[in-house]
Amino acid sequence: MSTERLTQLDDRALGAALHELDLAWPTPPDMVDSVLVAIKLGPVPRPRRSPRVRFVLVAAAAILALALAASAARLIIDLGAVRIEPIPSTSVSLPPSTVPIARLGEAVSLAEARAAVDFAVDVPPALGEPDRVWLVKGTTSFEPPEEGLIVALAWRPRLGLPRIAGTPYGATLLIFQGETDVAVKLIGAPIHQIAGQLAYWVSAPHELDLLVGGHVRTFRVTGNVVLWKDGPLVLRLETSLPRAVAIAIAFG
Amino acid sequence: MEDAALVERARDGDAAAFGELVLRYRELAGRVAQIVAPGADIDDVVQEALLKAWYAFPRFHAGAPFRPWLCKIVANEAKNRARSARRRDALALRVAAASEDAVPSPEAAALARDEAEALVEAMNQLHSDDRLVIAYRWLLDLRESEMAEALDIPPGTVKSRLSRAMTKLRTQLAVTDGGEP
């Protein structure tokens, strides 16, 4: 079936198929004269309103102003290669799908990962040597393609490090290099800034877009996440631990 | 005369210069309105948006690109109209009538048409926000910086917004085909 071929295409190829569509667009409206006449006539004066209606409108405007102020507080947070973007919680519609790091990158040893990158791959002392390490190349499908390197480390569950729901791990650490967005967290719950740090704590289920190869892969994250910036790097630690313990591991 | 010069004149109150801009961008404006609010009166949406652009010129940053700024105004006007559009089943996109040109065989023509119709149907089923971001990139050829301006989002968010919309398009294609998303 023709749609099966289309669903297999990456973003660029699917976009090219869209670009080649011969579409029946509406005939461009012939309105230069009517627009110029309307400009000449000037703006339409607003009708006067009764005092009662004015009160309702003022109250509505005040409520709108409060709503706008509240939404302005939900700022997009740019941590370099990782962007946190609040979205309405009703938009989180994907079924659970944890980050399958093993399928995204190349499995390597910690020494090989350190040799492959030009930044420090520091392991949180409280976690010790990771059980698995991968190198993941994040690239965007936009022209020109841009790359960001991700080092992924994982630790198996053990005493004091319970399993992250839906994953075989007790902790995962992603280290992002660069300023180009290769990951976007879409948050339907409040983000808490960690006092005194360029760091954030996200405890609710949320979505993570990873830009890998020619695709964006979207995952539903079930663990608690600490995100922080360290110089040119952004680090993301996911565990099922409570906030104070996770932060102590991240900054220990 | 280049857009920048026309915009400068229009900002100074030159209605004739604005008329030239209307002529250049009415097709794009109509397409944006169609994508966002297919059930609305497109001519009315475009005319109202153009008037709003004229009155908003004092706030337009000198030297900024006109095309995405106008797209943003048209899209906002179209969204306002979409809420009260009478025809809620109107289609945003339609495949053009079959051409007699250059298709190697009837089978290839049929396959091409099938795919085109499936793609258009899937686009029509998307939320207008997703349809618009895809259309900006792949149907209306806006650059990333222009998309950011037209969508009023940071440039770094454009890529993820587009990719998420493309993922939804793929999902919709699978649904259209009768399969699992």
Residues 6+ apart with CB under 8 A from B85: B37, B38, B39, B40
Q: 0.80 cut: is pTM over it? A: no
Is the bond into A144 cis (omega within 30 degrees of 0)? yes
Q: Which of A1, A18, A180 is the closest to B177 by Cβ?
A: A1
Most confident of A196-200, A210-214, B152-156, B160-164: B160-164
Model confidence band, residue A60 (pLDDT cutoffs 50, 70, 90)? very low
* pLDDT tens profile B135-174: 999 999 999 999 999 998 888 788 888 988 998 999 888 8
What are the backbone angles phi and psi of residue A197, rounded to the nearest 5°?
-130, 155
ipTM: 0.87
Interatomic CA distance for residues A228 and A249, integer angstroms: 12
Q: Directed axis angle between helix B66-82 and helix B128-138, to 10°?
A: 150
Residues A136-178: tens digit of each pLDDT: 776 544 445 555 668 889 999 988 888 888 788 899 998 877 6
Residue A161 · residue A171 · CB < 8 Å: yes
CA dist A59 and B79 (Å) reads: 24
How close A135 gets to chain B, by Cα (Å)?
A: 22
- Among residues B79, B95, B100, the alpha carbon closest in space to that of B150 is found at B79
Contact A184, A209 (CB under 8 A): yes
Nearest chain A Cα distance for residue B179, angstroms: 9
CA atoms within 13 A on the CB side of A111: 0
Degrees to nearest 5, angle at CA A178 with A78 and A183: 55
Write b or e for each residue in A68-77: b if 16 or more Cβ atoms lie within 10 A of its Cβ, otherwise e: eeeeeeeeeb
Give the burial class of A199: count Cβ atoms within 10 A of its Cβ; 0-12 exposed, 13-18 middle, 19 or more buried: buried
Summarised one tens digit per residue, pLDDT across range B113-131 is: 888 888 998 999 898 899 9
Residue that the structure tokens 């302005």 belong to: A72
CA distance B77 to chain A (A): 16
Spatial separation of the C-alpha atoms in residues A65 and B76, rounded to whole Å = 19
Instruction: State how far the Cα of A15 lies from the Cα of A11, in Å rounded to an integer.
Output: 6
A144 and A114 in contact (C-beta within 8 Å)?
A: no
Residue with tokens 């399969």: B179
Task: Find out whether A226 and B181 touch, Cβ atoms under 8 Å.
Answer: no
Cα B181 to chain center, whole Å? 26
Q: What is the pLDDT of residue A46?
A: 40
> Which are the contacts of B77, defined by CB distance < 8 A and separation ≥ 6?
B33, B45, B48, B49, B52
What residues does A230 pair with on adjacent strands? A233
| Helical residues (DSSP H) of chain B, grouped into ranges | 3-11, 15-36, 42-56, 66-82, 106-125, 128-138, 144-151, 155-176
Q: Which residue of B has its CA nearest to A82?
A: B156
Q: Which of A5, A7, A187 is the best mutation test for B, with the most CBs of B within 10 A?
A: A7
Collect all residues of chain B within an 8 Å Cβ-Cβ radius of residue A32: 19, 22-23, 26
Residue A145 contacts by C-beta under 8 Å, 6 or more apart in sequence? A139
> What does the pLDDT read at residue A195?
67
Q: What is the mean pLDDT of residues A47-56?
A: 37
Q: Under a CB-based contact definition with an 8 Å cutoff, are residues B122 and B133 in contact?
A: no
